[in-house]
Amino acid sequence: MENTKKTVSKIAKLPIWLYCALTRKQLTDAIASRVLRSSVTAPLILTKTRQQLQQVRKPRTILVRVAAQAAAQAGAIFESIKGGYHTSKLSLQYISCSKLSGRYQKLTRVDCAGGIVLRTKQDPEILLLLKAEGDQLDWVLPKGRRKAGENRQQTAIREVQEETGLTALKIKKFLGREGYFVVSNKSVSYKRISYYLMYSLEPNSLSVQEREGFIDGRWVNIADALSLTNPTRAHNILNRLTSELGKEKG
């Protein structure tokens, strides 16, 4: 075993993302304890790609993405094995999945929508907002909860307008969804955000709304957006944006 397993000591050697297939019981237990744990009967085997995972994935399991580098920075230990990686435990906050079917006890679902707001078609820059929650500051995409009677596109427009002060917006298309777990001392929620690609027709009118908890706003390129944002909560949709813009150039 010592010859086939090796602890990955340098975080930089880890992929940013790894993929894992979970049983319903594994996920149920993780929601209850806030921690995903490996066992003899259900080891946590992670792969670099979805394609690799399909070769070992069991039927009726749930495909999730793991923010491996972020988890390692927080203390998670990954071991390199044949075909991928193994970890003994992992905090639920580093796991994301764009769709979560079925019901889970002690899990609150939150339906949200938001905008990937660009200000130019050439060399596009994305709008990020700096949000203060307690002592923590995070760069985030504009988004918020869906209200009764709203469709998701209406929610996206309203939330962007309320949080940024930008009113002249042109929606291009639905871009995709992010889904992740929000872990607190009292509860676990699964937040699923529908994102719409939109352009600001008056980007200089940006006026971040402090009453919404934001203290700054910035137009940044995609590389900087990936560097500034939480990988579990934003990188999937930012990579989708990269792909979409690549299609337009092609």
Domain that holds residue 37: 6-96
Are residue 160 and residue 111 in the same domain, yes or no? yes
Q: What is the pTM assigned to this prediction? A: 0.90
Domain's final residue, options 49, 77, 96: 96
Domain's final residue, options 96, 118, 142: 96
Which residues have C-beta within 8 Å of that of residue 62, sequence separation ≥ 6?
21, 22, 23, 24, 27, 97, 100, 101
Please say whether the beta carbons of 18 and 47 come within 8 A: yes
Domain's final residue, options 96, 131, 166: 96
Nearest residue to 118 (alpha-carbon basis) of 193, 194, 171, 176: 171
- Is 102 part of a structural domain of the chain? no
Are residue 190 and residue 143 in the same domain, yes or no? yes
Tokens 């990937």 correspond to 116
Q: Residue 118 maps to which CATH number?
A: 3.90.79.10
Per-residue pLDDT of the chain (250 residues; tens, 9 = 90+): 344 455 654 565 899 999 999 999 999 999 999 999 998 888 899 999 999 998 888 888 999 999 999 999 999 999 999 889 999 999 999 999 988 888 888 899 999 999 999 997 677 899 999 999 878 899 999 999 999 999 999 999 999 999 999 999 999 999 999 999 999 878 899 999 999 999 999 988 999 988 888 999 999 999 999 999 999 999 999 999 999 988 877 6
Residue by residue, DSSP assigns the chain as: -TTT-EE---GGGS-SEEEEEE-HHHHHHHHHHSEEE--SSS--EEBSSHHHHHHHPPTT-EEEEEEHHHHHHTT---EEETTEEE-SEEEGGGEE-S---S--TTEEEEEEEEEEEES-SSS--EEEEEEEETTEEEEE--EEEPPTT--HHHHHHHHHHHHH----EEEEEEEEEEEEEEE-SS-EEEEEEEEEEEEES-GGG----GGGTEEEEEEE-HHHHHHHB-HHHHHHHHHHHHHHHHHHH-
Are residue 141 and residue 207 in the same domain, yes or no? yes
